């Protein structure tokens, strides 16, 4: 890796950024780097990650008009549906800025881009025990942590997580660390069995999903998954809905025993800190806590082998397509060579 001093940008240097330019189209555009202002930092990016669920909705133009403002990532550019510079999982090293930040490895909620200029207070230090390639999971871990606060699982609970994507897998891993819990990751892909084993939890297909659970978390993004989640819940249990369906409509099977079992169907979304912690926790404290939780090497199982940043426009249809087996797709930049 090159040293910070050798990477200092010149006045004429430009950044290269990924833009979703149209329906299922993306391109890399060159952008001039703005002059650094007091309180800002310049970051040379090492890695970013594709958030498959959310970025698939952006790529396919499926962000509902009612959510165009709420769906804006902190430092995105453009407007929905297109063109938009979108993403929120970037790790890099500070080249210029406040002295206390120079040379530090940091995470930022920023779109995919080779060099960043952003407020220093938008940076979160990556802990020493977390390698930069794993640190890209910070936004997903933050979502999972917020879901844990919303769901409030307890020791010895029987818990099912339906949907073994990155967020579902992280929720399963967090739940599995509670004493005495019986945690099952449920997914239609039998290949997720090995993933569950590495994370220290059980695995089941939808037909064998556990019943009478104390808590069920739904993260599959499908109506069938929601039906499985509701059928797995025990009397007066909570089903936490983490899936986001974009502009689509999903049938919720609320007939049958839904009412007689007095089930609770509640939502979780990372845009706000969970009510149980909102009075004490800021977004930055929550994100820092998520990074600390990434010190576990087993979580590397969630990260697909890196692809080069310049390959993204050509590779995105496969990465975001329904047949993709990738969980967290790692993107590697020249500075990481």
How is the chain split into domains, by residue range?
5-139+298-336, 153-267
Enter the tokens of residue 46. 């090492």
pLDDT given for residue 11 in this prediction: 53
| CB atoms near residue 193 (< 10 Å) | 15
Q: What is the pLDDT of residue 246?
A: 73
What is the distance between the alpha carbons of residues 109 and 136, in angstroms, rounded to a whole number?
10
Residue showing tokens 């890796």: 1
Cis omega (within 30 of 0) on the bond before 83?
yes
CA–CA separation, 248 and 240 (whole Å): 19
Q: 178, 299 in Cβ contact below 8 A? A: no
pLDDT score for 12 = 61
CATH code that applies to domain 5-139+298-336: 3.90.180.10
Q: So what's the pLDDT on residue 154?
A: 97
Cα distance between the two ends of the chain: 6
Please, are residues 193 and 170 in contact by the beta-carbon 8 Å criterion?
Answer: no
Q: What is the pLDDT of residue 236?
A: 98
Predicted pLDDT at 320: 94
Q: Give the pLDDT of residue 1.
A: 43
Q: Which CATH architecture has domain 153-267?
A: 3-Layer(aba) Sandwich (3.40)
CA-to-CA dists, residue 144 to 107, 219, 240, angstroms: 17, 10, 12
Structure tokens at 145: 């942590």
Secondary structure string (H, E, C) spanning the chain? CCCCHHHCCCCCCEEEEEEEEECCEEEEEEEECCCCCCCEEEEEEEEEEECHHHHHHHHCCCCCHHHCCCCCCCCCEECCCCCEECCCCEEEEEEECCCCCCCCEEEECCCCECEEEEEHHHCEECCCCCCHHHHCCHHHHHHHHHHHHHHCCCCCCEEEEECCCHHHHHHHHHHHCCCCCEEEEECCCCCHHHHHHHHCCEEECHHHCCCCEEEEEECCCCHHHHHHHHHHEEEEEEEEECCCCCCCCCCCCCCCCCCCCCCEEEECCCCCCCCCCCCCCCHHHHHHHHHHHHHCHHHHHHEEEEEEHHHHHHHHHHHCCCCCCCCEEEEECHHHC
Strand-pairing partners, residue 90, are 48, 108
Q: How far is CA 19 from the centre of its chain?
A: 19
> Exposure of 144 by Cβ count < 10 A (0-12 exposed, 13-18 middle, 19+ buried)?
buried
State residue 115's pLDDT score. 98
pLDDT values of the chain reduced to their tens digit, one per residue, 337 residues = 444 444 454 456 899 999 999 999 999 999 999 999 999 999 999 999 998 888 999 999 999 898 898 888 889 999 999 999 999 999 999 999 999 999 999 999 999 999 999 999 999 999 999 999 999 999 999 999 999 999 999 999 999 999 999 999 999 999 999 999 999 999 999 999 999 999 999 999 999 999 999 999 999 999 999 999 999 999 999 999 999 887 677 888 898 889 999 999 999 999 999 999 999 999 999 999 999 999 999 999 999 999 999 999 999 999 999 888 889 999 999 999 8
Residue 79, burial from CB neighbour count under 10 angstroms (0-12, 13-18, 19+): exposed
Length of the chain: 337
Burial of residue 115 (CB within 10 Å: 0-12, 13-18, 19+) is: buried
Query: In the beta sheet, which residues pair with residue 240?
Result: 217, 266
Distance of CA 53 to CAs 83, 90, 245, 315, Å? 19, 17, 9, 16
């Amino acid at each position: 890796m090159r040293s910070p001093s050798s990477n200092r940008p010149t006045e004429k240097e430009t950044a290269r950024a990924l833009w979703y330019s149209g329906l299922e189209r993306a391109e890399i555009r060159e952008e001039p780097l703005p002059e650094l202002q007091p309180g800002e930092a310049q970051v040379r990016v090492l890695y970013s990650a594709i958030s498959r669920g959310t970025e698939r909705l952006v790529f396919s133009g499926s962000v509902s008009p009612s959510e165009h403002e709420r769906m804006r990532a902190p430092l995105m550019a453009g407007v929905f549906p297109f063109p938009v510079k979108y993403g929120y999982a970037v790790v890099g090293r500070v080249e210029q800025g406040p002295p206390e930040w120079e040379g530090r490895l940091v995470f930022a909620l920023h779109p995919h881009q080779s060099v960043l200029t952003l407020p220093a207070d938008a940076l979160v230090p990556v802990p020493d025990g977390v390698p930069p390639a794993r640190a890209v999971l910070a936004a997903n871990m933050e979502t999972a942590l917020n879901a844990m606060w919303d769901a409030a699982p307890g020791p010895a609970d029987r818990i099912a997580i339906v949907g073994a994507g990155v967020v579902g897998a992280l929720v399963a891993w967090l739940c599995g660390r509670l004493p005495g819990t019986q945690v099952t990751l449920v997914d239609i892909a039998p290949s997720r069995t090995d993933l569950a084993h590495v994370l220290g939890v059980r695995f089941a297909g939808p037909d064998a999903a556990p019943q009478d659970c104390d808590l069920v978390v739904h993260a599959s993004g499908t109506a069938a998954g929601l039906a499985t989640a509701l059928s797995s819940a025990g009397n007066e249990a909570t089903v936490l809905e983490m899936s986001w369906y974009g502009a689509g409509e999903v049938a919720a099977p609320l007939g049958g025993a839904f009412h007689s079992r007095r089930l609770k169907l509640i939502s979780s979304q990372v845009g706000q800190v969970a009510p149980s912690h909102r009075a004490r926790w800021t977004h930055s404290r929550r994100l820092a806590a998520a990074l600390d939780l990434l010190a576990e090497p087993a979580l590397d199982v969630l990260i697909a082998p890196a692809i080069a940043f310049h390959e993204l426009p050509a590779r995105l249809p496969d990465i975001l397509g329904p047949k993709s087996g990738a969980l967290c797709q790692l993107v590697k930049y020249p500075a990481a060579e």
